[in-house]
A and B are shown apart, each in its own frame.
Chain A
Amino acid sequence: MTDTATAPAVRDSSGDDIVLSAKGLVVEYPVPGKKPVRAVHGIDIELRRGETLGLVGESGCGKSSTGRALVMLPPPTEGEVMLGDLRLDGLSQKQLRKHRKELQLIFQDPISSLNPRRTALEIVMEPLTFLKHPKPKERALELLQEVGVDAAMAKRKPHQLSGGQCQRVSIARGVAQQPSVIICDEPVSALDVSVQAQVLNLLERMKDEHDLSLVFISHDLAVVKNISDRVAVMYLGRIVELAGSEDIYQHPRHHYTALLLSSIPQPNRPEKLQDVANEGEIATSPAPSGGCPFAARCPAATEICRTVMPPLAEITPGHRVACHHPIPVEAEPDLRSAS
Chain B
Amino acid sequence: MSFTTKTTSQRTVVPGSPPIGGRGLLGRSRKGVPPWAVTISVGWLVLLMAGALLLPVLPLPDPSRSDYAAIMAPMFSPGHILGTDEVGRDILARLLSGAQVSLFVGVASIALAVVLGAPMGILAGYFGGWANRFIVAGLDIVLSFPNLVALIALSLFLGPGLWTIVVGIGIIASAPVARVARSATLTFVNRDFVTAARGMGFGHARIIVREILPNVVVPVLAYAIVVIAVAIVAEASLSFLGLGIQPPDASWGSMMGTGRAKLTQAPHIVLLPAFTMALSILAINFLAEHFAKRFDIKESAL
Contact = CB atoms under 8 A, between A and B. Distances in A.
A112 B84 CA distance: 61
Given A107-B192, A109-B192, A115 B199 contact: no
Nearest to A118: B214
A130 B202 contact: yes
B193 A113 contact: yes
Contacts of B195: 73, 105, 107
Interface stretch (A79-87, A95-103, A216-224, A309-317): A95-103
Interface in A111-144: 111-118, 126-127, 130
B198 interface: yes
B298 interface: yes
Interface in B47-99: none
27 contacts: A73-B195, A73-B199, A97-B201, A97-B202, A98-B201, A100-B198, A104-B196, A105-B196, A107-B192, A107-B195, A110-B302, A111-B299, A111-B302, A113-B191, A113-B193, A115-B193, A115-B214, A117-B215, A117-B297, A118-B214, A126-B197, A159-B299, A159-B301, A159-B302, A160-B301, A162-B302, A177-B200
A126 B211 CA distance: 10
Interface string B230-257: 0000000000000000000000000000
Given A107-B192, A115-B193, A127 B214 contact: no
Contact of A100 (B191, B201, B206): B201
Given A162-B302, A177-B200, A112 B297 contact: no
B210 interface: yes
A114 B195 CA distance: 10
A126 B210 contact: yes
Contacts of A163: 302
A305 B200 CA distance: 43
A105 B200 CA distance: 9
A117 B299 CA distance: 11
Given A116-B215, A117-B214, A159-B298, A101 B200 contact: yes
Contacts of B214: 115, 117-118
B211 A115 contact: yes
The size bracket of the interface on A is 20 to 34
Interface of B: 191-193, 195-203, 206, 210-211, 214-215, 297-299, 301-302
Given A113-B193, A113-B196, A115-B215, 19 more contacts: A73-B198, A73-B199, A97-B201, A100-B199, A100-B201, A101-B201, A107-B195, A111-B302, A112-B192, A117-B297, A130-B200, A130-B202, A130-B206, A159-B299, A159-B301, A162-B302, A170-B196, A177-B200, A177-B201
A173 interface: yes
Contact of B193 (A97, A103, A114): A114
- Tell me whether chain B's interface is mostly helix, strand or loop, or mixed: helix
A104 B298 contact: no
B299 A116 contact: yes
Point out which of B197, B200, B301, B302 has the most chain A C-beta atoms below 10 A from its C-beta.
Answer: B200
B301 A100 contact: no
A71 interface: yes
Contact of B200 (A118, A127, A159): A127
B199 A116 contact: no
B193 A112 contact: yes
Nearest to A107: B192
Nearest to B217: A117
B299 A173 contact: no
A251 to B, nearest CB: 37
Contact of B192 (A101, A103, A113, A162): A113
A104 B192 CA distance: 12
A118 B191 CA distance: 14
A310 B93 CA distance: 91
Contacts of A113: 191-193, 196
Nearest to A104: B199
A160 B298 CA distance: 9
B205 to A, nearest CB: 12
Contact of A126 (B191, B200, B203): B200
Interface in A160-178: 160, 162-163, 166, 170, 173, 177
Contacts of B211: 115
A159 B301 CA distance: 6
Contacts of A100: 198-201
Contact of B199 (A105, A114, A166): A105
Contact of A107 (B196, B203, B210): B196
Nearest to B214: A117
Contacts of B297: 116-117, 159
Nearest to B203: A97
B41 to A, nearest CB: 27
A114 B299 CA distance: 11
Nearest to B212: A115
Nearest to B210: A126
A139 to B, nearest CB: 15
Nearest to B218: A117
A87 to B, nearest CB: 18
A109 B191 CA distance: 10
